Amino acid sequence: MDCKKATRLLSDAEERELTARERFGLRFHVLICTACRRFQSQLQLLRHLLSHATPKMLASVYASGVRLSDSRRQKIKDLLWQATQEP
Amino acid sequence: MTMEVTEEQVQSQDPAEWVDLYGDMLLSYALSRMRDRDIAEDLVQETFLVAWKTRDNFAGRSLFSTWLVSILRHKIADHYRRDTSRATQAYDAWEDWQETEPPFSKTGKWSLSPKSWSASPEELLENREFWKVVAGCLGDMPAHLAYVFRLREFKSAKTKDICSLLDISTSNVSVRLHRARLLIRKCLEEKWFA
Ligand SMILES: [Zn+2]
């Protein structure tokens, strides 16, 4: 097992139960690979932080997503305004 | 699933308000399904116009935001039926790293080994600056990855619900989550733990 596969399994382990074979291979790789061991503890830290952060803190991060551009926003409003004027 | 809008607003009769309330949410949904921003914005625009024309069909049985997303889903499906050119291919077809720098060499080893993070979780939880960096890292991530990551890690959405919301396979969801996690750890390592 290489690091690419190992990190995929470390991530998948949060989504599904790994097979016995996968678990065994992963455990062995993580034992001998410092880089993947670090990746594993980083994932654990992230998971911990995201599950323990205050709702307010999370909401501020969550809201910082994609924004409709101002010009498009205005264009849609104009088109909708026209539509409201139609009988 | 209400997605970006956490508290459902009462449906307003003023459609301009819809744009302010739901425009960003609809665009981020569209960008989770396609990479062309202009087309995504066009489809969001069409969605609002259809919503206005068919507003009497909204029965209030679902959330207003869910109803808008269902219109957008139809628009996206129509779009893919009309235009199957490469430029607007669905993300499902991408199994490579073309949109991001690959973190692994051809032999499957880390190109740059992760570092050891010295961190006190209790301190980070309280640190506004840290969460600003997290927000920035999410913002820098390709939209289709960030969208799935947000649903999974912030909303604790189940994989199967993400699949049905985005019409993508389980393996596509896990690939996206894996990439998102690799990207966010890299970003945090550079911008916070360095
Ligand atoms: Zn490794």
Task: Pick the closest to residue B65 from B9, B146, B147 (CA basis).
Answer: B9
Which residues, by Cβ under 5 Å, contact ligand 1, an ion? A 3, 6, 33, 36
**Domain residue limits, chain B:** 7-81, 84-191
pLDDT at B143: 82
What's the whole-model pTM score?
Answer: 0.78
Tokens of B7: 């508290």
| Residue A32 near residue B106, CB atoms below 8 Å | no
Query: Inter-chain contact B185–A61, Cβ cutoff 8 Å?
Result: no
pLDDT at B37: 87
Tell me the CA distances in angstroms from B88 to A44, B78, B84, B92, B150, one per residue in order.
Answer: 36, 13, 7, 11, 24
Q: What is the mean pLDDT of residues A15-33?
A: 96
pLDDT at B85: 56
Closest chain B residue to the Cα of A13, Cα to Cα: B174
Neighbours of B161 (CB within 10 A): 14
Domain B84-191 has CATH 1.10.10.10: yes
Domain B7-81 has CATH 3.30.1490.20: no
pLDDT at B33: 81
Q: What is the mean pLDDT of residues A54-76?
A: 85
pLDDT at B12: 66
pLDDT at A21: 97
Q: A46-60, A72-86, B78-92: which has the minimum mean pLDDT?
A: B78-92
**Domain residue limits, chain A:** 3-85
Query: Inter-chain contact B131–A57, Cβ cutoff 8 Å?
Result: yes
Q: Which residues of chain B have pLDDT under 50?
A: 1-9, 86-88, 92-97, 99
ipTM, 2 decimals?
A: 0.84
